[in-house]
Amino acid sequence: MNDLTKIYEKLKHDIGEKRFEHSLRVAKTAEKMAGKFGVDPKKAFMSGLVHDCAKYNEESYIKKFNIDRAAYPVSSIKDPVLHAFLGAEVAKKVYNIYDEDILNAIKYHTTGREAMSDLEKIIFIADAIEPGREFEGIENIREVAYNNLDDALLLLLDSNIVFLINKKALINPLSFEARNYLIEEKNGKIRCNS
């Protein structure tokens, strides 16, 4: 189903008009960022477009594809990050996307992880800074995002973690691992491959 028109129609049907509009803004933001950082803009656009493809339909996809939820690092079926991990499977099985870079960008767009690729960082960031999002500090993060992916990612991880702490919500360990990895990398304790 790689015809863009069909993907648009399927996404609108599955996630609704409002979430589709968000996804389209993420796709366009990611495409713009990709051009700045030497990442394939088509991959960035597609990753952003389908990043929420499993949202609102987690239970039905788990049943439809006979997926063991325990295979994902989430606390429950209601875990707000489940759609990201499940989304990689849905992107493959429903949208015929097999590119591992795109699938990983979808999978880790809510938690991050250690040693994220630039595409993964772009989707994580674009999801937060797309023009429809508003929260305290977003203008600074938007400015940083077009200059330094790691700095923007660290700002967002810190912001997300503090937000979740204040809500007394569970925090996925992958977010801590992503943050700690970035800090160690910045302090020269991890050798960069890029």
Interval 73-95: pLDDT, tens: 776 656 788 899 999 999 999 99
CATH number, domain 3-187: 1.10.3210.10
pLDDT in tens, 93-127: 999 999 999 999 999 999 999 999 999 999 999 99
Which positions ≥6 away from 112 have C-beta within 8 Å? Answer: 120, 124, 153, 157, 174, 175, 177, 178, 179
Which positions ≥6 away from 94 have C-beta within 8 Å? Answer: 1, 10, 53
pLDDT in tens, 21-47: 999 999 999 999 999 999 999 999 999
Model confidence, pTM: 0.92
Q: Is the pLDDT of residue 181 over 60?
A: yes
Q: Is the pLDDT of residue 157 over 70?
A: yes
Measured CA to CA, the distance from residue 94 to residue 54 in angstroms comes to: 10
What's the confidence (pLDDT) of residue 190? Answer: 62
Q: Where are the domains of the chain?
A: 3-187
Local structure of residue 172 (DSSP, 8 states): -
The candidate with the shortest Cα–Cα distance to 53, out of 8, 98, 4, is 8
Q: What burial letters (b/e) apply to 49-82, b meaning 16+ CB within 10 Å?
A: bbbbbbbebbeebbeeeebeeeebebeeeebebb
Which positions ≥6 away from 45 have C-beta within 8 Å? Answer: 27, 28, 30, 31, 34
At residue 16, what are phi and psi to the nearest 5 degrees? 90, 160
What's the confidence (pLDDT) of residue 81? Answer: 86
What's the confidence (pLDDT) of residue 145? Answer: 97
Tokens of 130: 């797309």
